[in-house]
Every structure is written in C-alpha cells, then in structure tokens.
Amino acid sequence: MKRVVLFKEEEIERRVGELADELNKVYSGKEVVVIPLLRGGVVFAMDLVKKFKFPVEMDFLTTSSYGFSDTTSGNVNILNDIRTDVKGKDVLLVDDIIDTGKTLLKVKEFMLSKSPASIKVCTMLDKPSRRVEDIQPDFTGFKVEDLFIVGYGLDYQNFYRNIPYIFVFEKEEGEE
C-alpha cells in the first residue's frame, strides 16, 4: 500500500485548535451535548472536546452506510441511539467526514425529532464534490477532493483509524 500524506499530524492538531476556538465563541456560557458519530468521528471529537471551555455532556450515536466497502451503500442505518434527553439543549454533531451528505442529513433529521434547542454539525473533512444531499457542515476542518482517504478516524475495513495523520489510500498493483 502506498501512503500519500494529505494532512500531517501537526496540521490536524493546529486546525482542531482553531475549530475549538470558533466553537468556544459560539457556545460561550452554554451547556452543550456533543454527539460524535461512531466510529469515525470519535478520534476527532476527543481531540476537539479537550479544548472546549464550556460545559460538555457527551453521548454517542452509531450509524452505518459503508459496511466493508470503500463506497457508501446509500442506505443509512442508525444502529445505536443516544441515551441523553436533548430536548431544549444545544447539540453539536461531530463526524470525521461529510461526502454525499446522506448520513448527516439522516442523523440531523433524527436528532431534530428529539426537539433540541439547536443543532450544529462539525466535521473534520468536507468532500463537497460528492454531495448529493442539501446539507453543509457548520464547522469544517479541511475541504478535500474526491479521494479515498484514511487515518485520524477514517478507516478501510475497520483499520487505520488510529493513524494520527490523514493519507490517500492507494493499493499497490496486485494487492487485495
């Protein structure tokens, strides 16, 4: 496998700090329920919340649309719901990447049915060239081209999430 680094660990760390600064201004004086989408969004979310200066309640939502493929099935399933009652609370959804927008649109609609005071979306990566749904993140780390990328929460067949940088995943000729 060939690794072409797209974002180095230091670049990611710097950008996460900048996003935290933005969010600290938006949520100053508020209590927020932060909901990372499992599994990909958890690495980014953990780094982000450590820099928050406002009270944070955390819960987790598990979704699935990829399975073991490198392309989305288009069917978004909510596998595990949150336990927190978000009615009247400010909610921040955190995910690793938004590409087609199908997952985040379904999750946002699902969360809106729980009557939060507000709901915003923060993604580490935005791949607008693949967007098929009318949804945009409120906060984004980096915009990326239509490449298959892994690392920093993003996976290929459930591996590489622990890599501290983001790289383009390319199989070598003859690799499976």
Q: Catalytic residue positions? A: 99
Please give the Cα distance from 23 to 172 (Å, whole number): 40
Q: Which of 154, 120, 126, 119 is nearest to 140 (CA)?
A: 126
Task: Give the torsion sign (CA, 85, 57, 152, 97).
Answer: positive
Task: Give the torsion sign (CA, 47, 60, 102, 74).
Answer: positive
Partner residues linked to 2 by β-bridges: 170
Of the CA atoms within 13 Å of residue 148, those in its CB half-sphere come to 15
Report the greatest alpha carbon distance in the chain: 55
Two tokens, residue 129: 């060239």
